[in-house]
Each structure stands twice: as C-alpha cells, then as structure tokens.
Structure 1
Amino acid sequence: MRRLVSSGSSFEADIGYSRAVIDGDWMFVSGTTGFDYATMMISDDVGEQAEQALRNIGAALAEGGFSFADVVRVRYILPEAGEFETCWPALRRVFGEIRPAATMIAAGLSDPRMKIEIEVTARRGRG
C-alpha cells in the first residue's frame, strides 16, 4: 500500500513531490531543509538548519507511524562541505545510537539560504 505524507509546505505543490512516501514497511523521506514550515523562515546558521531539518523529518516519520529508530539510510547534502562538522552534534544526537548507513555530498541547493538538506529511508520493524 502506497501512502503520501505532506508537510504542508508550498514547495510540495509548486514542485510536485511529497514530503515522504510510504510503501509497505518502507518510508522514503524527501530531501528536507531547515525551513520552519509553520513560518517559512530559515536560520542563517547551518547547525540550526540541521536541527530544524531533523525536526521536520521527525514529524514526517511520526505522521507515517515511523521513528528515527527505523532509519536505515541517511544522505546529507551541503553546498559547503567544510560546514558539515558544525552539524555533527545534531546528527549524533539523533543518529548516534541508530548509526544508519550515511553519505555526505557537497552540491548546490535550490535556494542560497539553504545550507543543508537531509534525506532518509526508514524500514518499519527493522529491530
């Protein structure tokens, strides 16, 4: 059974994607940035953007009946690779015990205010 999860962000309708897609025991969360969807504001600080992106991902996972403990894969995309270490405390807090497979990619993002984008894949009942 396939189910779509929306954050309510205008980006989803404007671009034509879902915050996440659930397919059976799998959940695929789209690349998620540090925008606070309630205010559509974004911090200038990459560490705070990472924290907000994780809050956004956590909300999507919860809406789908998943949690961070179900995450098996994570991808980090940053325009400036040198800023990645600033994000480590937030990432370690969420993923330190879970230790999913992970990749960090340095690449441009669609808005120059965005300093990090995080994408996760989760599988229900993996433990």
Structure 2
Amino acid sequence: MKKIIFTEEAPAAIGPYSQAIEVNGMVYTSGQLPIDYKTGLMSDDVEVQTEQSLKNVFAILKAAGVDPENVIKTTVFIKDMNDFPRINKVYETFFQGNYPARSCVEVARLPKDALVEIEVVACK
C-alpha cells in the first residue's frame, strides 16, 4: 500500500503529482525544483539552485522519517553539463562519504526554466 508524503517545508507540487510516495519501506521523491518554499522564488545561480533542490529533497525525507544516509539513488537533471563541477561542489556537501548511486543528465529544459532538478530514492 502506498503512502503519500507531504511537507509544507518544501514547495507544493506544481502539477498532478505528490512530493513523494512511500511503498514497502522505500521513499521515492518527485523531482525537486530549486524553489524556496517560503518565498516561491528561485535563484538564477546554479550552485544556489542545487542547494535549494537538495534542501527541498531533505525536507521531504524528514517528513517521511528517512535519514539522509539512507538515500540509495539520486537523479540530477541539469540544463547545462558545463555546470557539472559547480553542482558537484554543492552536492558533495549533502552526501559526505556515504554517497548514493547517481545519474546526472543534461536536459533541454526544466519546469520553470530551472537549471537543476533532483529526485531521490531512499529506504527507511
């Protein structure tokens, strides 16, 4: 049976989807845009966007009762692969030593013209 995960400490979904779903002890987040849930605004700096996307992901994980060390897979969508080193610099501050598996893909365009979007899979 699936359980919908929601927190007010991350932006609400901008479409017909949930922030995350838990099923059989696994939590699957939707892609998190770098929107500040308090202001509804988004920076134009890729490092700030990466940090905000991860803060949003971690807020959802907290609402699901999941320790960030239990993230097993991340998918990072970026607008420009040239930003990869800057994104990595921020990313590694959230996952220190106990790195999850990861995919990173360049995409033509992201919702709200974001530069980065991040989703994760975690276990309880």
Taking structure 2 as the reference length, the TM-score comes to: 0.90
Is the CA contact 2:78–2:115 (under 8 Å) kept in the aligned structure 1?
A: yes
> Is it true that 1:27 corresponds to 2:27 in the alignment?
yes
Q: Which residue in 2 is equivalent to 1:60?
A: 60
- Aligned residue-pair number: 121
The residue number in structure 2 matching 1:123 is 123
Map 1:6-85; keep pairs closer than 5 Å. 6-8=6-8, 9-10=11-12, 12=13, 14-85=14-85
Unaligned runs of at least 5 residues, structure 2? none
1:60 CA drift (Å): 0.2
**Which residue of structure 2 aligns with residue 110 of structure 1?**
111
- Within 2, Cα distance between the matches of 1:102 and 1:7? 24
Task: Report the alpha carbon displacement of residue 91 of structure 1 after superposing the two structures with TM.
Answer: 0.8
Gaps of 5+ in 1: none
Mapped contact 2:35–2:53 kept (Cα < 8 A):
yes
**C-alpha contact 1:7 1:37 (8 A) present in aligned 2:** no
- Tell me how large the CA RMSD over aligned residues is: 1.3
Report SS of the residue matched to 2:28: strand
